[in-house]
């Protein structure tokens, strides 16, 4: 039996979330007589990703489908390829019970959320979203109701199709593959399937940022409606520079147009679990709290002493954020 991990990448580098998925997959393997871990890379001109994957410990096979139709992760093209791997593997090894995939697992980013349920439906099995812990080979914990309850669910399917909340699992180590070339992982080239012809990529507008990525940053500073306008987010940027932090936002700040939507933290945005989370001018609606409760230390700066954010904050400062932010930035600068 093997576990198929689907890599999240941009044709150049592997997304760190994939390393957290590897940890989850390795945990599952401990319940399945140490299944082999296979990494699937679908992309175009994605050799750098394959080279990088050689630096992941614990893999026994890397499957690569490098073709133009996988340049952008279109669910219509990706899902049938993943589903076919399960089907051919199970037929080829029928009887000996070896080599058949027991789990297909990927990160719960927007790409995984897009194709993984499509894979599950093609294979007529359930999909288990956003797991935060592995209880056994078929039993997992996942948050429901915006994280206000944790459900333990057991699957009765022959195959588990799973997305992983990456912030709930530590990232597996990634070594420089050029140093470990004595231990090459077998690479299997896969033929491309037919293009579905039903969807095509038109264009992308990606947010450019030199800051750490929101979901993997050690420190996150987020602003809410209290920031009042887009220009004031410069105050958070200045503080973020001092702390090498990522900047996020509440839904109110995104809806008001202060920042781009991909910075939204919460139930319907990104889930973060940094060492330090600083909420500035955020009242703390349940939907926002859902995205931050995994943080080690939460700091809240809010002028409203009754704001619900103070119920979850380790350190709260009741003050005007426009007074606090410049002082905090100066104090940290002085410490450098």
Partner 1 sequence: MKILVAVKRVVDHKVNVRVNANETGIETSNVKMAINPFCEIAIEQAVRFKEQGSADEVVLVCIGPKDAEVQLRAGLALGADRAILIRVDEEVQSLDVAKLLHKVVQEQLPDLVLLGKQAIDTDNNQTGQMLAALTDMPQGTFASDIVFTVPNKIKVTREVDGGLVTLALSLPAVVTVDLRLNTPRYASLPNIMKAKRKIITVIYPENIGVSLSPRLTTLKVEPPPTRQAGIKVADVAELVDKLQQAGVL
CA-CA distances (angstroms) from residue 66 to 75, 245, 297, 315?
16, 35, 42, 49
Site string for partner 1, 222-261 (x = CB under 8 A): ---------------------x-------x--xx----xx
Closest CB to partner 1 among 176 and 275?
275
Binding to partner 1 (CB under 8 A) within 6-25 occurs at: none
Residue 329 Cα distances to 104, 245, 325, angstroms: 45, 12, 6
Whole-number minimum distance, CB 197 to partner 1, in Å? 8
Residues in Cβ contact with 280 at an 8 Å cutoff, skipping those fewer than 6 apart: 221, 222, 223, 224, 226, 227, 236, 301, 302, 321, 324, 325
Are 44 and 70 contacting, i.e. CB atoms less than 8 angstroms apart?
yes
User: Whose Cβ is closer to partner 1: residue 181's or residue 261's?
Assistant: 261
Residues 186-205 that bind partner 1 (CB under 8 A): 196-205
If the CB atoms of residues 92 and 286 are measured against partner 1, the closer one turns out to be: 286
- The phi and psi torsions of 33 (rounded to 5 degrees) equal 60, 40
Separation in Å, CA 243 to CA 208, 238, 322, 325, 331: 19, 9, 18, 13, 12
Residues in region 93-112 near partner 1 by CB under 8 A: 109-111
Closer by beta carbon to partner 1, 129 or else 283:
129
Say whether residue 89 binds partner 1 (CB under 8 A): no
Residue number, 99 or 117, with CB nearest to partner 1: 117
Residue 107 belongs to what H/E stretch? strand 101-107
| Nearest distance, CB of residue 182 and partner 1, angstroms | 35
| Nearest partner of 127 among 135, 140, 85, 147, judged by Cα | 140
With CB under 8 A as the contact rule, the residue among 36, 157, 195, 241 that binds partner 1 is 157
Beta bridge partners of 36: 2
Under the binding rule (CB under 8 A), the answer on residue 313 touching partner 1 is: yes
- Spell out the residues 6+ positions from residue 254 whose beta carbon is closer than 8 angstroms to its own: 260, 261, 263, 264, 269
Q: Which stretch binds partner 1 (CB under 8 A): 38-46, 187-195, 223-231, 297-305?
A: 297-305
Cβ(274)–Cβ(219) below 8 Å: yes
Q: Which of residues 266-285 bind partner 1 (CB under 8 A)?
A: 267-268, 270, 275-276
Quote the least distance from Cβ 306 to partner 1, whole Å: 12
Nearer residue to partner 1 within complex by CB, 54 or 223? 223
**C-beta atoms surrounding 36 within 10 Å:** 17
Question: Interface with partner 1 includes 71 (CB under 8 A)?
Answer: no
Q: Smallest distance, Å, CB 176 to partner 1?
A: 25
Q: If you ran DSSP here, which 8-state letter would residue 84 be given? A: H
Binders of partner 1 among residues 113 to 152 (CB under 8 A) are: 113-122, 124-130, 139, 143-152
Identity of the residue, 153 or 190, whose beta carbon is nearer to partner 1 in the bound complex: 153
Half-sphere exposure of 143 (CA within 13 A, CB side): 22
Q: Binders of partner 1: how many residues, by CB under 8 A?
A: 91
**Of the candidate residues 91, 96, 97, 156, the single one contacting partner 1 (CB under 8 A):** 156
């Amino acid at each position: 039996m093997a576990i198929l991990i689907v890599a999240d990448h941009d044709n150049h580098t592997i997304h760190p979330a994939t390393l957290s998925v590897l940890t989850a997959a390795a945990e599952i393997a401990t319940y399945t007589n140490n299944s082999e871990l296979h990494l699937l890379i679908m992309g175009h001109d994605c050799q750098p990703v394959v080279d990088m994957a050689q630096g992941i410990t614990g893999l026994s096979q890397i499957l690569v489908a490098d073709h133009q139709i996988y340049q952008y992760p279109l669910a219509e093209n990706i899902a049938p390829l993943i589903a076919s791997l399960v089907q051919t593997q199970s037929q080829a090894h029928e009887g000996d019970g070896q080599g058949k995939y027991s789990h297909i697992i990927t990160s719960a980013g927007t790409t995984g959320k897009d194709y993984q349920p499509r894979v599950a439906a093609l294979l007529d099995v359930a999909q288990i979203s956003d797991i935060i812990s592995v209880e056994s080979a078929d039993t997992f914990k996942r948050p429901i109701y915006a994280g206000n309850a944790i459900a333990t669910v057991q699957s009765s399917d022959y195959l588990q199709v799973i997305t992983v909340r990456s912030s709930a699992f530590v990232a597996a180590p990634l070594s420089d593959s050029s140093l470990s070339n004595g231990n090459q992982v077998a690479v299997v080239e896969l033929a491309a399937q037919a293009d579905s012809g039903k969807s095509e990529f038109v264009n992308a507008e990606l947010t450019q940022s030199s800051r750490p990525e929101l979901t993997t940053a050690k420190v996150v500073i987020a602003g809410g409606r209290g920031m009042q306008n887009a220009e004031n987010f410069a105050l958070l940027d200045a503080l973020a520079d001092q702390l090498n932090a990522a900047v996020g936002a509440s839904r109110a700040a995104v809806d008001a147009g202060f920042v781009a939507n991909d910075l939204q933290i919460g139930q319907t945005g990104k889930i973060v679990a940094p060492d330090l989370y600083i909420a500035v001018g955020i009242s703390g609606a349940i939907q926002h709290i859902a995205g931050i409760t995994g943080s080690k230390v939460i700091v809240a700066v809010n002028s409203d002493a009754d704001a619900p954010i103070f119920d979850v904050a380790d350190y709260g400062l009741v003050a005007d954020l426009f007074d606090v932010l410049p002082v905090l930035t100066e104090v940290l600068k002085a410490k450098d």
